[in-house]
Structure 1
């Protein structure tokens, strides 16, 4: 009985949190919106650059209210890709709130320093007894360069959408936040009893989409894929792989899957590692789908573009 009362209290708090999203009713006649629409089409509808030129060309950047989903199987590199994206954004002066539910802030920053310095992550963990003086200097230089980056890391566990909403609103009152990255959605929860985990993910997903719209900034949300992918010959993820995860496919404006052939074939006798990753755009509400090749650097866990040509997209 006491547990039921606690559940009701949690649900009431969650409901109140959802009501307090800062949403403002915005009903306007078409003619009031027309000047902005025409101006955007004239200038080009360029949103916040991710720093990956070919991706930005396809998406026209990230836009206010966008709910962008990046999904993959474990150990493919979701967090590394998200951190690479965040680094490119903040180095261009854009503020990013990185909400980590899986790794500590210290772990993320150490990864980031190694990727910027291009120093082997394993060597860095061993310390100065293993690293050369040049590597130590590179790490120090990278760390100094990053100190003033507008990157803010929230180290959270068992976060609810209402708690995330409070974090985002608080940070936006005191800092310039242009994008929120959440790593990853399956580690969030809603209080109280839920019918099943699929329904809980549906609730979380819809509240994240509502929050992105209310705050008028893009949300990049990472998602884990089920092991159903492993049972197919072609292990490139499909939109159908999200169907067990509630309404993610329906809610997202953009759905991208990260895939690395190396991960699946590394133990085959005659296979040569390529370090090539595929970022597969399966859904794009405002544009084209397709695939972008990235270079994965496992030694310092980061991604960069394999093909150049759109560096001047912005």
Structure 2
């Protein structure tokens, strides 16, 4: 077991009491977790944290009074001991050095405790994939505790070279990210932006998967690699749908193999285009969020311009145990957002909607319809709903029209557009409107 450094703890506590500016206290509260401290000094540090957050000056009198209120007595809680701490610290100048000792030793103890717990869980687990997920989950939890060395940056440094970015945007026709499958949607959103989590949700049979695949083809044509994680449909089935899309081939012919003389040239040309596209598919059923993170990281090393698609959110395995399904989905959505940021790529994830949609007269989806939403609405940068009126209304004038409702756009605002959905060809097409 890694021992506590009592001398370092005494030096930091003494420095906090000595520094009338309270800067040392603020740094200590920001850097050090209460669990990093020994049992003798932990109550003292926790009391200091309370005073600092309240904006109360920390000195021997206020601290001893707070310790009395909390029922802390004994040598470390007495006013004489607190006075000795100040006397043994000539200045607060070296407080950062001693904080580092506490932080490093505390973090290492936490890491060892976590490994012990993972070992216990692993000994009870027979599935190697779940074993790997446990390890990754433990690493992610520890990684979240590591504090960034990134410092505050002046705004003029942040905006340096901004003119060049504006110039580049002016030549991109408004598309600043990975292009979508629709021109109007590109205008509305600017494409799928790096670091963003985009949720595409709809009821069954609205065309979610086809919409996703149309996006992967558009991305590939623009030079972006796409990683598709398909948790429901086999990879070969997705490949057939992309071929139908590219070659304008009826997917029924591909399912039956009944291609005529005019169809084979279309198939061959579509296969030739598909073979050159940087589209990668993983159809592992029940894949864990940790496996997704690892595979995205690996592909990012090969393709700097990366686009990730997942079909669909509710089938992802968290690799951890939660008290409720809502908590699990919330953890998955938060992790997806973190993967997008860590790899500087957009993640487009399909999601189910609850059956509540079917109970309303107007069946267009709303935010509250997101199934097991948890924090999906909060974590997502963009939420798109797909709606087909002809699915519910046979007499509608909007035959084969899909409404794309951007219900949330953190950086773009909300909006609405329409596309034609040719179901047999798995293809979404722009609507060519004539203006007089």
CA distance, structure 2, for counterparts of residue 214 and residue 188 of structure 1: 19
Distance 1:27 1:307, change over 3 A: farther
2:138 match: 15
Residue number among 201, 223, 235 corresponding to 2:351 in the alignment: 223
Asked if residue 97 in structure 1 is aligned to residue 220 in structure 2, the reply is no
1:6 CA displacement: 3.5
Indicate how the Cα distance of structure 1 residues 24 and 56 shifts in structure 2: closer, same or farther if over 3 A, else same. Answer: farther
Indicate if the aligned counterparts of 2:420 and 2:430 stay in contact, CA closer than 8 A. yes
- Partner of residue 312, structure 1: none
Aligned partner of 2:239 among 109, 112, 130: 109
Distance in 2, Cα, partners of 1:161 & 1:144: 33
Q: Unpaired segments of 5 or more residues in structure 2?
A: 1-119
The range that moved more, 38-47 or 290-299, is 38-47
- What per-residue deviation string (whole Å, max 9, x for no partner) do you get for residues 244-298 of structure 1? 32111110110100011111124xxx55671000000001111231111010001
Partner of 1:161: 289
Gaps of 5+ in 1: 310-314
Q: 1:127 aligns with which of 257, 261, 265?
A: 257
Residues in 2 aligned to 1:137 and 1:42: alpha-carbon distance in whole angstroms? 42
| Alignment partner, residue 201 of structure 1 | 329
1:52 and 2:173 correspond: no
Moved more, 106-115 or 60-69: 60-69
The residue matched to 1:144 in structure 2 has which SS? helix
The question of whether the paired residues in 1 share the 8 Å contact of 2:288 and 2:318 is answered with yes
Match of 2:374 in 1: 246
The structure whose residues are more often strand, as a share, is 1
Greater fraction helix: 2
Q: 1:173 to 1:232 in 2, by over 3 A?
A: same
* Alpha-carbon separation, structure 1, partners of 2:264 and 2:121: 54
> Aligned equivalents of 2:238 and 2:366: distance in 1?
29
Q: Aligned in 2, Cα 1:244/1:155: closer, same or farther, shift over 3 Å?
A: closer
Cα separation, partners in 2 of 1:272 and 1:41, compared to 1, 3 Å: closer
1:88 maps to: 218
Taking the TM superposition and a 5 Å limit, the aligned residue runs for 1:257-296 are: 257-266=385-394, 270=395, 274-296=399-421
Q: In the alignment, what sits opposite 1:298?
A: 423
Residues of 2 paired with 1:25 and 1:48: CA distance?
30
- Give the ranges of 4+ consecutive aligned residues of structure 1 lying more than 2 Å apart after TM superposition: 2-13, 17-28, 36-45, 174-177, 270-273
Contact 1:50 1:56 survives alignment (8 Å): yes
SS in 1 for 2:300: helix
Go from structure 1 to structure 2 and tell me whether the alpha carbon gap of 1:28 and 1:228 turns closer, same or farther (over 3 Å shift).
Answer: same
Deviations 1:62-101 (A, max 9, x none): 2211111100111211110000011111022211111111
How far off its partner does 1:136 sit?
A: 1.6
Shift of 1:15: 2.2
Measure the CA separation in 2 of the matches of 1:23 and 1:157: 35
Cα distance between partner residues in 2 of 1:134 and 1:25: 62
Could you tell me whether the CA contact under 8 Å between 2:201 and 2:385 is conserved in 1? Answer: yes
The TM-score with structure 1 as length reference comes to 0.88
Q: Quote the Cα distance in structure 1 between the aligned partners of 2:238 and 2:147.
A: 32
Residue pair 2:179, 2:219 contacting (<8 A) in 1 also: yes
Q: For the residues of structure 2 that align with 1:171 and 1:19, how far apart are their CA atoms?
A: 24
| TM-score normalised by L of structure 2 | 0.64
